[in-house]
Structure 1
Amino acid sequence: MLRIGSMVLTEAAKRWLVWSAVVTVILALRIGCVLYDRSRPSPSRPVVQRPVEKDYLVIVPKFSIDDLESAQKLVGQTLWVKAGYQAEYFTYPASKRLTTEQSIHKFDPLEKVTVHGIIERTGSSRDREKEVLLLFQKDGKEFATQVGLFDSDEKQYQMFFDDLFYLKDPHEIYDHWNRETWAKIQAHHLEPGMTYTQVALSLGNGNLVTTGAGGTQLYQFNHRPGGEAGKTRIRFI
């Protein structure tokens, strides 16, 4: 037994004191190592960046049309449909007015349109509004599609050219796409790895459904691969 002053310690108590001292030393060393590591400058971690999609770097030519007069410069020019399966056109009768028997058609993606004229007519919904129509021919018939509105009260035009058409051949705009990609787009095919623009030119424009973690986006398109009507959902990462 160990005697400390008037107190006598047993062998068990002696061993407990020794182990307590050892544990205290180990904890002190551990805390010291942690504090030392934290005080050192941490090595910089390389920042992993997602590659920039080349489509985002493309500059799509704008129409810069804000009234009926400036729209006349398009007469004789060829445009390419951007809003495929969405933008509508109709037979344009000699009376210059729609009839209830007329059928409404939708443009195919990338369809070429040669502008034969740009005119105004009184809108069917409100007399104070005038519709701006683009006239073109197809299969020997004359058709029209609405490309703008004129508010008679505000004396102001609202033009939709940039939403409906490309001013320049998309093959030249997206010249970084290879021939195989263009062939799949023109056949309305769908393949993993396609960008949103490629899918939109193949199946028509989509509608955003949700945005997920990391910026992933889920879109719904109103056509299936091959060009048939139907719902197709695609997630873009």
Structure 2
Amino acid sequence: MNNSPPLSIGLLLFPSLTQLDLTGPYEVFVRAPNTQVHLIWKNRDLVVSDRGMAIQPTTTFSHCPALDLICVPGGPGQIDLMTDEEALAFIRTQSKQATWVTSVCTGSLVLGAAGLLTGYKATTHWASLDQLALLGAVPVNQRVVRDRNRITGAGVTSGIDFALTVVAELYGSEVAQNIQLQMEYDPAPPFNSGSPRTASEEQLKNAQAQAAPFLEKRRQATLKAAARLQQQGK
């Protein structure tokens, strides 16, 4: 019988996040043994994702226990989060004592804005990967990147790979493989276009053109966050 306290895992839940960035890892983490998974925001009101899904926080910044692992997902709402001092302060405080500091997709840009990726290798969604360097991180074009106690996942669906990697680190590969089997996580996509490496040149150009206005908005937010970090470092 395991009498040790449960591992405390916290996923940040914020307006206009991409829900799969959060729900993919959540599904993995809640299946891990002896864990308590928290969905955290400023209050307990329903939080609406970028595509309209409403999700209920389970705790708040002020009531959240000390976390063993903190995870920041991404999505369009990440832009506002990069200037949200209350949220950034919460992330910094929890990260000081957490064993693992993690993110999925553009959540890594939020970690960077909080000053938590300086000198660390990290990844994010392919369309924003270059922005990590502006925040002092070392961009790595991989599905999951670990550097010391920082583990970051690339875009959206990589959150499942990321969480299985974390579970393997915490509990061993047998536990992670069992969870993968439970979830029947056996990707066999109908198209081979899920990455810039495999999409056609035309598909990639269309995706880049479609996202260009938003990516520029994100870049400007990253530049402002980088300037704040430089100012704080003086």
- The TM-score, its normalising length taken from structure 1, stands at 0.24
Bigger Rg, structure 1 or 2: 1
Structure 1 or 2: more helix by fraction: 2
Q: TM-score, normalised by structure 2?
A: 0.24
More strand by share: 1
